Structure 1
Amino acid sequence: MTLPKEGVIMREVINATDARKEWGSFIDNVVRFKPSVIKRNRDYLAAISLEHFDLVLTPYRFTLEYEKEADGSFSGSLKELDLLANADSLEALKTEIVQELVEYAHEYMNEFDKYYNAPNRKPHFPYVMRVIIQKDKEAIRSLIDA
């Protein structure tokens, strides 16, 4: 057994060939027990259940900043992503913002290379993933603090 160099964190790494041979067992282990790291040639990737991933992303919530307009409507934006919306009521504004979040998250993922590599959009990635892994719009809505 070779010990890691000083300063290197030891981690359990599964060879991609071994994971592929036992794919069902590998998935069961990741979902039911713990995340895993897979190595293929010089590339590494993490496999993590959505439950565990959601926990990792817990700090990533949204702050809705809003104001009541002269016409009685509400205008607001998400501090973290600069998404804007306007609606007749605060509840309707939250619904609009959720829709904007869903659309932005899908656009981000569909054009991942462009968005992730843009310096002003790279920090959006964990917020986008937080939206993507939610079960429904109500779960997304619960991530918004107003």
Structure 2
Amino acid sequence: MVMLGDVFPNFSAKTTIGDIKFHEWLGDSWGILFSHPADFTPVCTTELAKLINLHPEFTKRNTKIIALSCDPVAKHLKWCNDIKGYSGDTFPYPIIADEDKELAVELQMLDADEKDSNGLPLTARAVFIVDPNKKMRLSILYPATTGRNFE
């Protein structure tokens, strides 16, 4: 379990921009990692579109954004094209593919009360803020059925 002030895991992941190691990708920036239960869901799609619009504000604050969903990269790339229909021509941040839910388990983001069609726990919605020293400064975890307002 990652506690406030702990060094955030330096996980490896497949993403829509290729393979990354989290600490190297983050560099000397702040980071916000947020998770979604699945691609193409209406709430997740509008949240990601809103973050595209807010991306310049995060950039001004030396903050990188990265999303996570438990679908494969190929599906994420199709989803990105769908999302761009709401927000413009670019998709300025990566989405992590966590098909086996390995990262969701490591970061304790599974919701035992919310199940998918196969009866498996959904990835809960989570937000992690990581500082430039790679330490976790904020953690929010809430049910997959609860949306977010990025305003």
Shorter-normalised TM range:
under 0.3
Higher share in helix: 1
Higher share in strand: 2
Per chain length, whose mean CA-contact separation is higher, i.e. which structure has more relative contact order (CA < 8 Å, sep 6+)? 2
TM-score, normalised to structure 2, is 0.25
TM-score, normalised to structure 1, is 0.26
